[in-house]
Chain A
């Protein structure tokens, strides 16, 4: 079984259609263990009960956006080192710089192809190996 297929991945996006498409892209790449959350708060609850190996989060979400979720993850005593990638429709350099300071592993601009997503994920997984 490939490394990607063994990874448990958490997708966080408030747009249902985006979640469905992202899940489809991840399955195309080879992921089989995919959980989804509709916002940052829900993601934190899911992480508490069932930690994952990788988080892919949308940037703009109500309640807790991508950066706020990243900060919450990075300050958590259990899963602070979980790789985190942000998806964004309009990459603001200042926002991404803030994310980098918080420990963001990678980001990907929308819209993207499964191949773009795979490259972005493998870049992070490679660095972690």
Chain B
């Protein structure tokens, strides 16, 4: 989805994958328990981002079913880069998201993080870092041409609490800008 009036910023929605070789483009997304993999070939300066949430609660009986969807989106990202001339052995990635946004239920975010890390490890794609876990959502900006990522933590008051509500003090780190 391309935001009107800001063609240089492309928003990546859940279940989507965008790859670009346009150096002026910034990819953006908003993450809760979803994970976004940002990947690029630093030599060519092309890159992309996907945004996935594995379906189900990640229990073993459903694990492979859920992971097929995650693998599909990771493959779209990798293949999109390779089609534009990227070299597989040069690919580098950063992972974001996977927050535990709802207390008292299965930690879906952790399952998404675990899957993404295992995928990168299995495919021998270097993971340079990122920011995963925690209990706050994230607004993410990623410049594929430079590999620079900026993260804004969302106030945890915006996060659903299904267990006993606890007081939420004013958090100094809410809305914090972090560079990666």
A binds B: yes
Residues of A within 8 A of B (CB): 14-18, 20-21, 24-25, 60, 62, 89-90, 110-113
| B74 interface neighbour in A17, A25, A60, Cβ under 8 Å | A17
Contact A60 B68 (CB under 8 A): no
Q: Which residue of B lies closest to A15 (CB)?
A: B75
Contact A110 B82 (CB under 8 A): no
How many inter-chain residue pairs (CB < 8 Å) link A and B? 45
A111 to chain B: which residues have CB within 8 Å? 68-69, 71-72
Residues of B within 8 A of A (CB): 64-65, 67-69, 71-72, 74-76, 78-79, 82-83, 88, 118-119, 122-123
Q: Which residue of A lies closest to B83 (CB)?
A: A60
Contact A18 B71 (CB under 8 A): yes
Contact A18 B75 (CB under 8 A): yes
Q: Which residue of B lies closest to A14 (CB)?
A: B88
27 cross-chain CB contacts under 8 A = A14-B88, A15-B71, A15-B75, A15-B78, A15-B123, A17-B74, A17-B118, A17-B119, A17-B122, A18-B71, A21-B64, A21-B67, A21-B68, A21-B71, A24-B64, A25-B64, A60-B75, A60-B82, A60-B83, A62-B82, A89-B72, A89-B75, A90-B76, A111-B68, A112-B68, A113-B65, A113-B68
